[in-house]
Amino acid sequence: MTLGGWIIMTLSVSFVTLLLAWSLYRVLRDSGPAPNDDDGEEDGE
C-alpha cells in the first residue's frame, strides 16, 4: 500500500466516522422534547 493510499484511506474513513460520531452526539445531546407548536397528533386541515 502506497503512502497516497494510506492518506486517502485514513482521511476518508476518519471523515465519515467523525461526521457520524459528531452528528449522533448532537442528536443524543439535544434529544429532549422539541418546542413543538403542534403535537402532530391532530391535523386540522
Partner 1 sequence: MHTPGKKREAWATQLGVILAVMGSAVGLGNFLRFPGLAAKYEGGAFMIPYFTALLFLGLPLCWAEWALGRYGGNRGHNSGPGIFRAVSSKRFVPYGGVLVLIVPIVIYMYYVFIEAWCLAYAWYMLTGQLALGKNSAEYVKFFDNFVGGSRDGVLFGAGGGPTLSFVALCFLLNFTLIYRGLSKGIEWFCRWAMPALILCAIVVVIRVLTLGTPNPAEPEWNVLNGLGFMWNPHTDKIPFGEALQNPQMWMEAAGQIFFSISVGFGTIITYSSYLRRRDDVALSALTGAAGNEFCEVALGGLMTIPAAFVFLGPVACEHCGSSFDLGFKTLPMIFQYMPLGQIVGTLFFILLFLAAVTSSVAMLQPGVALMEEGLGMRRKTSVLWLGLLTMLGTGFIVFFSKNLVALNTFDFWVGTLAIYLLATAEAILFGWVLGIKQGMAEIDAGAKIRVPRILGFILKYVTPVYLLGVIALWIRQQIMVSKDNQFRAIADDPVVRWSVVFIVAVSLLLGVLTFFSLRRWRKAERARQEATP
Tell me which residue has cell 471523515: 15
Q: How many residues bind partner 1 (CB under 8 A)?
A: 34
Site string for partner 1, 1-40 (x = CB under 8 A): xx-xxxxxx--xx-xxx-xx--xx-xxx-xx--xxxxxxx
CA–CA separation, 2 and 20 (whole Å):
27
Q: How close are the terminal C-alpha atoms of the chain, in Å?
A: 61
3-state secondary structure of 39: coil
Shortest distance in whole angstroms from residue 4 CB to partner 1: 5
* Site residues, partner 1 (CB under 8 A): 1-2, 4-9, 12-13, 15-17, 19-20, 23-24, 26-28, 30-31, 34-45
